[in-house]
Amino acid sequence: METNSNQSLKNKRIIILGGSSGLGLATARAAASEGAHIVIVSGNQQRINNVLKELPAGSTGFAIDLSLEENIKNFFESVGNFDHLVYTAAENLTLNNIAETEIEKARAFFNLRYWGAFAAVKYGSPHINTGGSISLTSGIASVRPGAGWSVASSICGAMEGFVRAMAVELAPIRVNSVMPGVVKTNLWSSMSDNDRENLYKNVGDSLLVKRVGESEDIALAFLYLMKQHFGTGQNIVIDGGAVLV
């Protein structure tokens, strides 16, 4: 039987791709508070520098363009072994009805959100210690899409299938994902302040918990997936009840 000590993140080495903002940053903070050794990766050196000022001594960060496979390959070849991989890297999505969607531009949205995660699993998994895990990011757009969400829904659905396939192929490494609903992150930064606040209020009022999510809510799900030892191939919905209403 697993003991509580086996479910601790203390002294575990955790690599978070997309760890300088949003869900990744919240996960880095939460894991660091439990004694984990944090490695954050993102494309923005200034954000990395700012995050490292608040994380415990010994935390490290790397500015890497995660849209390029070669960069991901080189990073994992040099970073050494670790215990848990978390992938939250994403750029802002543009929502369009399919009639207005430019397919070449739509393809590009898969590059960081899906193929970046694919490459991270390919090149990172050989370096994961026994008992380790991979946690990716999907979203409820796959099961509860709205008009204009064709690309986002497709990416989320692809990620969920990828998680199940990797759980089988990479066993006993545990592979799971978190499926957030609407969360207050920079995902919505392309909207005006007024439109964004209206989105948060309208969505929040419709949810069972009567608010939209915070990054810290989703970080707790990533910590759970790292600390538990029995679930794999799972896509965990954390959405305030959005798929039920």
Q: What is the pLDDT of residues 132-186, one digit of tens each?
A: 999 999 999 999 998 999 999 999 999 999 999 999 999 999 999 999 999 998 7
- CA dist., res. 161 & res. 29, Å (int): 29
pLDDT of residue 1: 39
Length of the chain measured in residues? 245
- pLDDT at 6 (0 to 100): 62
Residues in a beta bridge with 235: 177
Summarised one tens digit per residue, pLDDT across range 169-184 is: 999 999 999 999 999 9
The angle, 0 to 180 degrees and rounded to 10, between the axes of the packed helices 103-110 and 150-169 is 40
Contact 14, 56 (CB under 8 A): no
**So what's the pLDDT on residue 94?**
78
The three-state secondary structure class of 217 is helix
Sign of CA dihedral 11, 13, 19, 20: positive
Q: Is the pLDDT of residue 2 over 50?
A: no
Per-residue pLDDT, 3: 42
Percent of the chain residues topping a pLDDT of 90: 87
Phi-psi region of 240 (alpha: psi -120 to 50; beta: other; left: phi over 0): left
* pLDDT given for residue 188 in this prediction: 74
Q: What is the pLDDT of residues 188-197, one digit of tens each?
A: 777 788 888 8
pTM of the model: 0.94
The Cβ of residue 94 has, within 10 Å, a number of other Cβ atoms equal to: 15
* Residue 119: pLDDT over 60: yes
Given CA atoms 231, 234, 235, 239 in this order, what sign does their dihedral have? negative
Q: What is the pLDDT of residues 24-53, one digit of tens each?
A: 999 999 999 999 999 999 999 999 999 999
Rounded Cα–Cα distance for residues 229 and 44 (Å): 33
**Cα–Cα dist 229/245, whole Å:** 32
81: nearest Cα among 165, 17, 12: 12
> Residue range 57-80: average pLDDT?
97
Q: What is the DSSP letter of 92?
A: P
d(CA 163, CA 144): 19
Q: Vertex 108, ends 106 and 109: CA angle to 5°?
A: 70
